[in-house]
Amino acid sequence: MAGTASAGAICVAGCSCRSSSRWEFLSDAQAETLAALADQIIPEDDFPSASQAGVIVYIDRQLMGPYRRHRDAYQAGFESADRISREFCGVALAQAPPPIRQEVTSALAEQRSDFFELAREHIMEGYYGSPRHGGNRDAVSWRMLGLEEPPLRGRAKYDLSKGAGS
Amino acid sequence: MNRANAVIVGAGAAGGIVAKELSTAGLSVVLFERGPWYTPADCRKDDLRNQRTTVLGNAFGPEDRGFPRVVVDAGGVARIVRPSDNAYQNNAACVGVGTLSYGAQAWRYMPQDFRMKSVYGTPPGSSLEDWPIGYEDLEPFYDQAEYEIGISGDYAPDPFHGPRRRGLPMPPLPPNREWEILEPAARRLGLHPFAIPMLRNSVPYNDRGPCMRCRWCVGFACEVDAKNGSQNTVIPQALATGNCRLRTRCTAMEILMDESGHACGVEYIDENGRRERQLSDIVVVSACAIESARLLLNSKSRLFPNGLGNRYDQVGRHLQGHYYTGALGYFDRDTYDDIGPGASIAVCDYNHGTPGLCGGGMLANEFIRLPIHMIDRLPPGTPRWGHGHKQAMREWHRRTIIVMGPTQQIPTAEARVTLDPAVKDKWGAPVARIQGNCHPHTFEIGTVQAQRAQTWLQEAGAIHTTLMNSRPQMISAGQHQAGTCRMGTDPRNSVVNQSCQLHDVDNVFVIDGSVHVSNGGFNPALTIMAIAYYASGALLRGWKGARYRS
């Protein structure tokens, strides 16, 4: 019953709060749930976490575009994550303490649920992909990997009169 | 232009060359391309939306809406796929087609690749055959493509290539770090490594500058226009003759036939969505293997109720691409130097001559892996998420090398393109239905190739290696698609003759990878170009003068 209740709550939040949400598709509550999950997939260390790097912006934006077709999967996934979280500690994922968030993520991962695989893929894309789509803010993941941004290689050497590498 | 001498469908590697050859000879030409004309300013360098990584869509078409295909898996289950799905087997929809965004490897097939049946026999259940033409027939046209389109490289260290009249017009790019690691290792193994020939300027050529060695190559348009495709060479030349008109965003729907059994033009959808007709004396189909077959099959008439050229149910059969296998090596030192295109060194020691195997393929190092490509390429046992995954990304992104290659597929008649009985595109025409797989012997060859790649990486100092030889459940054609309108002498088991002319209709030509009898153990672009020059020559020799000139 808790699951049904939370599903209803999320739906209401998703419908009624849309206009006041700072997101394009997600409700504030859904964005918090996604951030809780995303920051387990890519946690903060010396470099930003997924949500700190704009991954929620990335996914939210794509859900209005190419990932429109995954909306139902996300809705169902948020419900499922919150259900597991409530089983573990009585509150939704976004309100759960970090150790519980990790356990919930492990549970989702062990199920190899379609939602977990989808969300993992999208979170990684947002973090390691091109900054233009809202994630990888300031190319932070590329800098983390030691890649120049903006890339200087080639440009600095580029000289029509000499040929490459000369 | 009411009536043209020739209509060409598809402005890719082949269509662009045919347009240039015919318009230069004085024929009036209309070149149809379903996509737009992109420029270097459209490069974008978008890791998530290009022609190879398509998670946010194809950069260079087709768009996802309105152009589905149907694929049938090994269990016989059919599903509808979008152009950005891997299973779609997409190439591109734009002027230049694949040549705008390819990695630009520029391989000649080897003499044996044209005589596969003679060299190896035909494995039971396969449709392996000899081509009706040989390497020596194409050699002058390989040379023409190498010089007119522009290729850098150096064949001198490779003893396995066919006879050549001269070297390449441009030297190879200077070596990158992967070359420096792999080259001595290959020598120690007794192999013959050399620079991958590429349709890429290493020095200024054709009034354009050299490669700037950036990170974003295969799958992307070139920011500095240093990759050579039909869009920046032969198509501008064709337009400069004044005899060629390029119609972008125009999609050919059907080849029109007159009552005497000759083609008289094409019906097409123009850039405004209107159904129009372009009459012509000749029709050249250069739409890539899957769409060329579909256009013929969709061209039904009283004389050809099952599709043009399809009297013996041959159109669409023998679909092939390549079976890519290899190995991923992890090193205890940096292998990454951020110098593009990354792919630099190859060996052709394993294309032919292994007892018990029908051929093989070229092995080369892979193009630069962008961060997005490393997510699931970390060492076995790496956590798939969390601190461990993030740490592993930092640890390994700069310390891998991939060696792999296009294993020559052993074709089957059952790997094929047909028309789907139910699904239509946005214009109402039945879409391509793709089914079947290559012959299972292909997977044996591919696994041996993967092991050879692994050995090379181990010799180069890899501390750990993983094989990349998973077996696809259906034909893997994609950007290397070929074979659907087989060239041959017998109309009962081929679609076009050795001049790329339909057996059944003397003024319709199929000039692209469709005519490949087998697809070599190499990237096919240069062979498609050579065939385009070769077939254009044959076409012009048979041209008896225009019935109409605009």
| Backbone φ and ψ of B376, nearest 5° | -110, 25
Q: Is residue A133 part of a domain?
A: yes
| Backbone φ and ψ of A101, nearest 5° | -55, -40
- Residue A5 neighbours by CB under 8 Å, 6+ apart: none
Q: Is A156 on the interface with B (CB under 8 A)?
A: no
Q: Is residue A56 part of a domain?
A: yes
Taking contacts as CB-CB distances below 8 angstroms, the residues of chain B near A46 are none
Taking contacts as CB-CB distances below 8 angstroms, the residues of chain B near A133 are 48, 56
Q: What is the pLDDT along chain B (550 residues), one digit of tens a residue?
A: 589 999 999 999 999 999 999 999 999 999 999 999 999 888 889 999 999 999 999 999 999 999 999 999 989 999 999 999 999 999 999 999 999 999 999 999 999 999 999 999 999 999 999 999 999 999 999 999 999 999 999 999 999 999 999 999 999 999 999 999 999 999 999 999 999 999 999 999 999 999 999 999 999 999 999 999 999 999 999 999 999 999 999 999 999 999 999 999 999 999 999 999 999 999 999 999 999 999 999 999 999 999 999 999 999 999 999 999 999 999 999 999 999 999 999 999 999 999 999 999 999 999 999 999 999 999 999 999 999 999 999 999 999 999 999 999 999 999 999 999 999 999 999 999 999 999 999 999 999 999 999 999 999 999 999 999 999 989 999 999 999 999 999 999 999 999 999 999 999 999 999 999 999 999 999 999 999 999 999 999 999 875 533 3
Gap from A30 CA to chain B (nearest CA, Å): 21
Considering only CA atoms, which of B410, B529, B400, B544 is closest in space to residue B117? B410
Range of the domain at A122: 2-144
Query: CA–CA distance from B226 to each of A121, A163, B23, B147, B291 (Å)?
Result: 33, 11, 25, 15, 28
One-letter amino acid for residue B137 of the chain: D
Q: Is residue B393 part of a domain?
A: no
Number of structural domains, chain B?
1
Name which of A145, A152, A157 to mutate to probe chain B: the one with the most chain B Cβ atoms within 10 A of its Cβ: A145
Where residue B308 sits, what CATH number does that domain have? 3.50.50.60
Query: What is the SS3 assignment for B178?
Result: helix
Number of structural domains, chain A?
1
Q: Is the Cβ–Cβ distance between B462 and B401 less than 8 Å?
A: yes
Q: Is the Cβ–Cβ distance between B236 and B229 less than 8 Å?
A: no
Q: Is residue B90 part of a domain?
A: yes
Q: Is residue A11 part of a domain?
A: yes
Q: Is residue A123 part of a domain?
A: yes
Would the CB atoms of B47 and A130 count as touching at under 8 Å?
Answer: yes
Q: Is residue B390 part of a domain?
A: no
| Backbone φ and ψ of B276, nearest 5° | -130, 170
Q: Is residue A116 part of a domain?
A: yes
Q: Is B389 on the interface with A (CB under 8 A)?
A: yes
Q: Is residue B374 part of a domain?
A: no
Two tokens, residue B60: 């260079």
Would the CB atoms of A45 and B389 count as touching at under 8 Å?
Answer: no
Q: Is residue A36 part of a domain?
A: yes
Q: Is the Cβ–Cβ distance between B374 and B384 less than 8 Å?
A: no
Gap between the Cα atoms of B344 and B152, Å rounded: 11
Considering only CA atoms, which of B286, B287, B252 is closest in space to residue B21? B286
Q: Is residue B387 part of a domain?
A: no
Q: Is residue A159 part of a domain?
A: no
Q: Is residue B46 part of a domain?
A: no
Give B487's DSSP letter: B
Minimal Cβ distance to B386: which of A40, A161, A165: A40
Range of the domain at B136: 3-41+54-367+399-542
Measure CA of the first residue to CA of the last residue in chain A; give whole Å: 70
Q: Is residue B463 part of a domain?
A: yes
Query: What is the SS3 assignment for A56?
Result: helix
Would the CB atoms of B372 and A47 count as touching at under 8 Å?
Answer: no
Two tokens, residue B453: 């790649």
- Residue B61 neighbours by CB under 8 Å, 6+ apart: B34, B35, B36, B83, B92, B93, B94
Q: Is residue B183 part of a domain?
A: yes
One-letter amino acid for residue B501 of the chain: Q
Q: Is the ipTM of this complex over 0.90?
A: yes
Q: Is the Cβ–Cβ distance between B216 and B1 less than 8 Å?
A: no
Taking contacts as CB-CB distances below 8 angstroms, the residues of chain B near A141 are 371, 393
